[in-house]
Amino acid sequence: MVRNIAGLLPELETEDFYLLSGVEQGMRFSEWVQREKLTDFSGLTPEEVDYRLERCLKRGLVEKKTIQYEGYTLQFEGYDTLALRALVEGDTISEFGAPLGVGKESDVYEVKSYKPLALKYHREGYTNFREVHKERDYTSDNEHVSWMYTARKAAEREHDILESLYPDVSVPRPIEQNRHAIVMEKMDGVELSQTRLEDEQVRGVLDLLLRELTRAYELGYVHADMSEYNVFVSESGVKIFDWPQSVPTDHENATTFLRRDLKNLVGYFRRKYPSHISDDLESDRVADAIADGSFESIADIE
């Protein structure tokens, strides 16, 4: 888990951010930025660079490595700091709250502005860079990418997809995006995996989710990572989240991803509620009905 840096923000001075931005700029060309180049990238004097490096190293925002030269790179905490400051200065958020969820590919915190919101830091590529680079479309066309680039592209992609889907599909409303961070609506309810539905709710909730996936397909997207862990259930309905790996419906593997999504979702309901979801409900038939626009209810497919 990457450390929460919100408490550090008041300690940092403007010149510290110049230094962090300079390292960020240098990392476009190399994972480790030469100490001598930081004066140009940051606009600081050599003496000021030395002082700011010491402050940022002490706070775990950058890392130093001596190879053929003395090089510096951002830690994820340093990248978080740059994104958070930009969102605060842009008046997108005003307060930072408690963690809402921590995973291998993202950390989510409650934040506030005019109402409670959620701040999601993308972590793709930080601990499993090779796998993410190989599997994700948004990095596969680039031979030389860093964790920073991978996480930023994931955030940009998810934000764009949410903007395309909201409000026609029940997804979190996107508010703002900066670097690898997205601010979005805070979701009410409980994760589907942690929910025990009442008998009379089971089929209705599954139908509701399938209709949302149908609308997403009509708008040109397949989730491609659908599971009980990417759904919130509340009294007002459902919300489907985590869309950075989504693929367009004209993607060469869209049908495969759609069938996998439906296998995961229908399989989950069948395992947890076997008396309500029969073996006659074939996930591939549901996927075909979504793809051809004929899906209305699981009762029509069983």
Q: Choose, from 80, 225, 242, 261, the residue flagged as catalytic.
A: 225
Query: What's the pLDDT tens digit per position in 159-218?
Result: 999 999 999 999 999 999 999 999 999 999 999 999 999 999 999 999 999 999 999 999
What order of strands is seen across the sheet that includes strand 33-34? 33-34, 70-74, 62-66
For residue 1, is pLDDT > 80? no
Query: What's the pLDDT tens digit per position in 68-88?
Result: 999 999 999 999 999 999 999
CB neighbourhood size of 234 (10 A): 12
CB neighbourhood size of 280 (10 A): 9
Segment 214-232 shows an average pLDDT of 97
Catalytic, 225? Answer: yes
Pairing of strands 231-234, 62-66: unpaired
- What is the reported pTM? 0.91
For residue 134, is pLDDT > 60? no
Tell the residue number behind the tokens 């979504």, with chain if given.
290
Take residue 14 and report the two structure tokens written for it.
């403007």
Long-range contacts of 130-139 (CB under 8 A, 24+ apart): 132/105, 136/244, 136/245, 137/247, 137/251, 138/244
Tell the residue number behind the tokens 């509620």, with chain if given.
273
CA distance 178 to 54: 26
